[in-house]
Amino acid sequence: MILDNRGMEPPQPMVRTLKQLEAMTVGEQLMIINDRRPMFLYAELDELGFDYVTGPQQDGSFKIIITKRGE
């Protein structure tokens, strides 16, 4: 699944992303696209058991691929 969070005001991108993560199963991936690097989201992902890879995009946005780890 892809969530395009560009153009949204904080905290909407994080709230929207965390809601989607609740429905994920082990090994499932979610790609989000944000206007800026989601610094506060990373601590939440670590605590909740998700791996993530962040990459800058040519338009200045950031693509983050989030994967739910196994127990």
For residue range 14-60, list pLDDT tens digits in order.
999 999 999 999 999 999 999 999 999 999 999 999 999 999 999 99
pTM of the model: 0.94
Cβ atoms of residues 34 and 13 within 8 Å: yes
Dihedral sign (CA 60, 34, 63, 45) = positive
